[in-house]
């Protein structure tokens, strides 16, 4: 297979992270999700706890200046005048670009599809599922209450939507920005993995 960097955006409880993990194992390529937090902490000097709280969440302030945030270089002088939450995004963007430059890999979330939008070998995937299936998965794997889970899912997905819009000015889950959209309620996790592999093989001419 040729080099491909696959980014996976996912609704909470859709199994998107697990799809990425299984796909990476089958393709024998690196998989990046939560470990990006540790890398960002090392690069930015910020604590992992703070970064985790900021992860895919909007900054607490609306004093957001695009000149000094998503469009500034991590290494630029302007970085030091940037709000802390934007520093996390910039450091994260730098890490994601470094990981993508090293070879084929799978990256989950964190606006990676936008950050790597100019990468020729980029393949962007969006994973969704029906609410009842997301609730069932969240209760089973995250030990959440079945009563409170639907609202939690809506809240997290709304947070991801706002975060994505804030830093990219794009619609999260918008078909214009993703090469492949999969409903795991129809395909299951294994079926989603097969679909992505088939797409990659077709792109490689295999």
Q: What is the pLDDT of residues 159-177, one digit of tens each?
A: 999 999 999 999 998 878 8
Give tens-digit pLDDT for 105-156: 999 999 999 999 999 999 999 999 999 999 999 998 888 888 889 999 999 9
Burial state string for 87-114 with b = 16 or more CB within 10 A and e = fewer than 16: bbbbbbbbbbeebbeeebbbbbbbbbbb
Q: What percent of the chain has pLDDT over 90?
A: 62
Sequence-ordered list of residues with C-beta below 8 angstroms from that of 23, at least 6 positions apart, any chain:
6, 31, 106, 193, 196, 197
Confidence bin at 45 (pLDDT 50/70/90): confident
Task: Report the pLDDT value the prediction gives residue 124, as an integer from 0 to 100.
Answer: 97
Average the pLDDT over 53-80 and give the result. Answer: 48
Taken as a whole, the chain contains a residue count of 206
Q: What is the largest CA-CA distance in the chain?
A: 49
Q: How crowded is the C-beta side of 21, counted as CA atoms within 13 Å? A: 8
Whether residue 188 is predicted with pLDDT greater than 60 in this model: the reply is: yes
Sequence-ordered list of residues with C-beta below 8 angstroms from that of 92, at least 6 positions apart, any chain:
36, 40, 110
Confidence bin at 68 (pLDDT 50/70/90): very low
Confidence bin at 70 (pLDDT 50/70/90): very low
Classify domain 5-201 at the CATH superfamily level.
P-loop containing nucleotide triphosphate hydrolases (3.40.50.300)
Q: Which tokens belong to 49? A: 């706890």
Task: Report the pLDDT value the prediction gives residue 82, as an integer from 0 to 100.
Answer: 62
> Rounded to an integer, what distance in angstroms lies between the CA atom of residue 134 and that of residue 153?
8
List the one residue out of 185, 204, 149 whose CA is nearest residue 15: 185
Q: Quick one: how far is CA 179 from the chain centroid?
A: 15
> Rounded to an integer, what distance in angstroms lies between the CA atom of residue 64 and that of residue 86?
8
């Amino acid at each position: 297979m040729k080099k491909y960097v696959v980014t996976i955006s996912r609704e909470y409880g859709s199994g998107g992270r697990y799809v990425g993990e299984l796909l990476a194992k089958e393709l024998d390529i690196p998989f990046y999700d939560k470990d990006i937090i540790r890398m960002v902490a090392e690069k930015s000097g910020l604590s992992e706890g703070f970064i985790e709280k900021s992860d895919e969440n909007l900054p607490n302030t609306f004093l957001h200046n695009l000149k000094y945030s998503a469009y500034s270089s991590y290494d630029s002088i302007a970085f030091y005048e940037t709000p802390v939450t934007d520093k996390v995004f910039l450091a994260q963007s730098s890490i994601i670009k470094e990981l993508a430059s090293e070879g084929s890999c799978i990256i989950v979330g964190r606006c990676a599809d936008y950050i790597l939008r100019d990468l020729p070998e980029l393949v962007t995937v969006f994973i969704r599922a029906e609410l009842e299936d997301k609730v069932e998965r969240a209760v089973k794997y995250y030990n959440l209450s079945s009563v409170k889970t639907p609202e939690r899912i809506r809240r997290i997905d709304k947070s991801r939507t706002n975060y994505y819009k804030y830093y990219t000015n794009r619609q999260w889950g918008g078909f214009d920005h993703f090469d492949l959209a999969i409903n795991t309620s129809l395909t299951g996790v294994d079926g989603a993995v097969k679909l992505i592999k088939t797409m990659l093989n077709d792109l490689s001419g295999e």
